[in-house]
């Protein structure tokens, strides 16, 4: 199977879900449910950094791709890296550039930005 990065680059359909609970058991069930990715929502929930780190580890160990929606742009809140950081409230590319350096997909974001022009 192609990597998540390659699948996104080729616009292959991927299916995932969002986590709004910090319960490790719920996270593990979701991670083993067959989704390609799970987003930990730190923008609209009370999930703290230490809880998100633990959830990222659970998701990764289950073979699912961990994504994190951070509470504000440009923050590196993690001691571990998730595969992507969906940025909140992005209306233009400028603010997004701050957070790009904390993801493993910055080149894909840059390519898509150029393609939209």
* Annotation says 44 is catalytic: yes
What's the helix, strand, coil split of the chain in %, to 5? 40, 15, 50
Element (H, E) at 69: strand 65-69
**Active-site pick, 2, 12, 44, 61:** 44
d(CA 117, CA 115): 6
| Residues with a known catalytic role | 44
């Amino acid at each position: 199977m192609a990597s998540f990065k390659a699948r996104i680059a080729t616009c292959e359909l991927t299916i995932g879900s969002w986590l709004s609970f910090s319960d490790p058991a719920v996270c593990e069930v979701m991670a083993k449910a067959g989704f390609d990715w799970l987003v930990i929502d730190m923008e609209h929930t009370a999930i703290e950094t230490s809880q998100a780190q633990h959830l990222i580890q659970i998701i990764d160990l289950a073979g699912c791709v961990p994504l994190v929606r951070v509470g504000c742009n440009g923050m590196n809140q993690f001691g571990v890296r998730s595969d992507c950081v969906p940025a909140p409230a992005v209306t233009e590319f400028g603010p997004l550039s701050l957070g790009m350096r904390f993801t493993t997909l910055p080149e894909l974001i840059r390519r898509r930005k150029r393609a939209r022009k």
